[in-house]
Amino acid sequence: MAKLDEKIESIYNDVLKRNPGEIEFHQAVLEVLESLGPVVVKHPEYLERKIIERICEPERQIIFRVPWQDDKGQVHINRGFRVEFNSSLGPYKGGLRFHPSVYLGIIKFLGFEQIFKNSLTGLPIGGGKGGSDFDPKGKSDDEVMRFCQSFMTELYRHLGEHTDVPAGDIGVGGREIGYMFGQYKRITNRYEPGVLTGKGLTWGGSLVRTEATGYGATYFINEALKVRKDTFEGKTCLVSGSGNVAIYTIEKIHQLGGKCVACSDSNGVIYHEKGLDLDLIKQLKEVERRRISDYALAHKDAKYIPNGNIWDIPCQVAMPSATQNEINGKDAAKLVKNGCIAVGEGANMPTTPEGVKVFLDAKIAYGPGKAANAGGVATSALEMQQNAQRDSWTFEDTEAKLENIMKNIHANCYETAEEYGAPGNYVLGANICGFIKVANAMVAHGLV
């Protein structure tokens, strides 16, 4: 275990005892608690009022059965989750993930991260997360619809624009949000667009929401490069994944003058030395739902590496945008050795603790997910604002607001790291900045 302040170590040990086997949640908690030693010295009231213990315990954990029928009439049973972690700053806000790997520990890790991520945006939203072990891959539209309707038939009673507002995550895009919103509307007899975000543009959605996480992560790293008197211009970049986050990270990097040469999916890596063809990736992934290996059919000079490791390719900027723990200590060391100067996490916790230590020791510009990928939830909150006002903003206005939010997140993390004696350490800056805002709200609200 990493060295913790002695006042905090017993709190972490209690988390381990109360949440056995939930290794991702343990990792997320440890990563935050490691930063809080100097905070509790400065704010002893947090220990007196058990703020850390209370933050580590969700306000509510909901687990439910999701029965559904496939196109052949076969009945399937999945498990649904919603962890409403902390509402000190506003209604619970966080995505829904549909993936076979989902279990309570994954949802709690994501929800815990979401508390601090949402705090960093400066917007009035609390932290939560949900999902199911359902796999939408290979399912027909009708099967996905039936699952989403069954899922929402239970979840709807826990939601509301002033209570809990889910969005999408891995396996949950516009199609799934649409089916869930339709069922919510049907059950409640209310057209309440603020209850889900990531909606279609014709029925309450926000421009830039699709692009937000990828754009936001790129804006964050752009700011981190600026304080080092550098830019994306001419930089060779790697972006893992080829879903929503990866696609729009690539797009913004290209707009800022960088060159992305590789991306990936769960089957392998595509490497195109002269630069990725983003239009083709969008066609393959967003329209035709095909594998990234098909990229090489259109570009003979591109190389497809089955089950390859994207982090073996030399780069100056790495943007992990796929899933948790995709960069280990060995990968991180290779990236640094090959000349990587900046890493921006578009995914949630994509770097293992060993990898994080390598990046921090090398003093590269390392943007942790709770700060770098906050653009997605920030734009979800902007969507909630538009819904509340019965309004719709232009792409330019919404993107300008997103860019400003990401600049503020960067500045707050940077300044907090300096204040606590660790200049350039965005991990410590993000953890402390996000924590203090939530902690102060909890103190103000009393013992609830």
The reply, when asked if residue 440 is annotated as ligand binding, is: no
The reply, when asked if residue 380 is annotated as ligand binding, is: yes
Give the angle 49-127-78 at the CA atoms, nearest 5°: 120
- Report the pLDDT averaged over residues 181-208: 97
Does the pLDDT of residue 289 top 90, yes or no? Answer: no
Mean pLDDT of all residues belonging to the chain: 96
Does the pLDDT of residue 194 top 60, yes or no? Answer: yes
pLDDT at 7 (0 to 100): 87
The reply, when asked if residue 93 is annotated as ligand binding, is: yes
The reply, when asked if residue 94 is annotated as ligand binding, is: no
Q: How many CB atoms lie within 10 A of CB 436?
A: 17
Segment among 287-291, 327-331, 373-377 with least mean pLDDT: 287-291
pLDDT tens per residue, range 218-265: 999 999 999 999 999 999 999 999 999 999 999 999 999 999 999 999
pLDDT tens per residue, range 14-23: 999 999 999 9
- In our burial notation (b when 16+ CB lie closer than 10 A, e otherwise), range 9-22 reads eebbeebbeebeeb
Does the pLDDT of residue 4 top 90, yes or no? Answer: no
Of 25, 50, 172, whose CA–CA distance to 113 is shortest? 25
pLDDT at 50 (0 to 100): 97
pLDDT confidence tier of residue 342, bands split at 50, 70 and 90: very high
Choose, from 129, 199, 252, 285, the residue flagged as catalytic.
129
pLDDT at 1 (0 to 100): 43
Specify whether the CB–CB gap between 195 and 185 falls below 8 A. no
Collect contacts of 355-358 with beta carbons under 8 A, ≥24 apart: 355/327, 355/328, 355/329, 355/331, 356/31, 356/332, 356/427, 357/329, 358/329, 358/332, 358/333
The reply, when asked if residue 285 is annotated as ligand binding, is: no
Percent above pLDDT 90 for the chain: 97
pLDDT confidence tier of residue 6, bands split at 50, 70 and 90: confident
- Report the pLDDT averaged over residues 388-415: 97
Does the annotation mark 370 as catalytic?
no
Specify whether the CB–CB gap between 379 and 208 falls below 8 A. yes
Does the pLDDT of residue 2 top 60, yes or no? Answer: no
- What the chain holds in terms of domains, given with CATH numbers, is 6-55 (no CATH), 58-192 (3.40.50.10860), 212-367 (3.40.50.720)
The reply, when asked if residue 244 is annotated as ligand binding, is: yes
Rounded CA separation 121/116 (Å):
9
Give the angle 343-322-263 at the CA atoms, nearest 5°: 75
The reply, when asked if residue 122 is annotated as ligand binding, is: no
